Chains A and B, each alone.
Chain A
Amino acid sequence: AQSVAQPEDQVNVAEGNPLTVKCTYSVSGNPYLFWYVQYPNRGLQFLLKYITGDNLVKGSYGFEAEFNKSQTSFHLKKPSALVSDSALYFCAVRDSGNNRLAFGKGNQVVVIP
């Protein structure tokens, strides 16, 4: 069965500093990986995905993620965090040929002004 681990509960970062949110995954086949962001009282919003090709994927709002097959990781990054990036971030994985998404527990990101 596919699964995702997001090891940290909360990530604190100063505004302007680099932001990293960690994610590791487990699937039996080829992974399709996704990052979502959730703001208070809103649904999850799609940020970016990795399907195949370049290991560095660029997405919305200046976010990017790096796929590492040997470490089974898909960490989310942003070079310079904004206060408005404070939100809950979810990593998700889908096995090829499967329509269910397995979500991590989410990471609360707090960007300190």
Chain B
Amino acid sequence: DAGVIQSPRHEVTEMGQEVTLRCKPISGHDYLFWYRQTMMRGLELLIYFNNNVPIDDSGMPEDRFSAKMPNASFSTLKIQPSEPRDSAVYFCASSQEGSNQPQHFGDGTRLSIL
């Protein structure tokens, strides 16, 4: 079975540029989560979707961040304009319906904003 697939794996760009991170969840999973991981703040939940609908975006840092899920097999996280403090590893995870279901993580996108 293919797991959660994220692209790109690495992204280096200059401050002010638009960044788009992509995620393909596991087929049949109803929930999709976006996380950010840094040394200082650990693992932070940014937003999550249920059946392609955003449920909780309270973790999105500011208006420069936006996320979409146009269909069950694809989601994007966009940063515009990007800033050096956005540098982090961004993870996408998906899970089946049910509070007892584990989340399955992709291998992340390592983002560096110069």
Q: Considering only CB atoms, which chain B residue lies closest to A97 in the complex? A: B99
Instruction: Give 1 or 0 for each of B24-53: 1 = CB within 8 Å of chain A CB.
Output: 000000010000000000110100101000
| Partner pick for B106 among A34, A43, A97, A105, CB 8 A cutoff | A43
Query: When each residue 70-112 of chain B gets 1 if its CB lies under 8 Å from chain A and 0 otherwise, what string results?
Result: 0000000000000000000001010100011011111110100
Interface residues of A in 3-42 (CB under 8 A from B): 32, 34, 36, 41-42
From A44-52, A67-75, A78-86, give the one contacting chain B: A44-52
B45 and A100 form a contact (CB under 8 A): yes
Size class of the A contact interface (CB-based, 8 Å): 20 to 34
- Contact check, B108 vs A43: say whether CB atoms are below 8 A apart: yes
Residues of A within 8 A of B93 (CB): 43-44
Q: In the complex where A34-B102, A44-B91 touch, is A100 in contact with B56 (Cβ < 8 A)?
A: yes
Q: Encode contact with A along B1-44: 1 for CB under 8 Å, 0 otherwise.
A: 00010000000000000000000000000010000000000110
Is B114 in contact with chain A by the CB < 8 A criterion? no
A46 touches B91 (CB 8 A): no
Contact: A99 with B42, CB < 8 Å? no
A104 CA / B42 CA spacing, docked (Å): 8
CB <8 Å contact, B100 and A106: no
CB distance from A96 to the nearest CB of B (A): 6
**In the complex, what residues of B have CB within 8 A of residue A96's CB?**
99
List B contacts of A97 (CB < 8 A).
Answer: 99
Partner of A90, one of B4, B43, B48: B43
Residue from B4, B56, B99 within 8 A of A43 (CB atoms): B4
Interface residues of A (CB under 8 A from B): 32, 34, 36, 41-46, 49, 51, 90, 94-101, 103, 105-106
What 6 A-B pairs have minimum CB-CB distances, sorted nearest first? Answer: A43-B105, A46-B102, A51-B100, A44-B105, A43-B107, A103-B43
Additional A-B contacts beyond A32-B100, A45-B105 (10; CB < 8 A): A34-B102, A42-B108, A43-B91, A46-B104, A95-B99, A99-B48, A101-B103, A103-B42, A105-B42, A106-B42
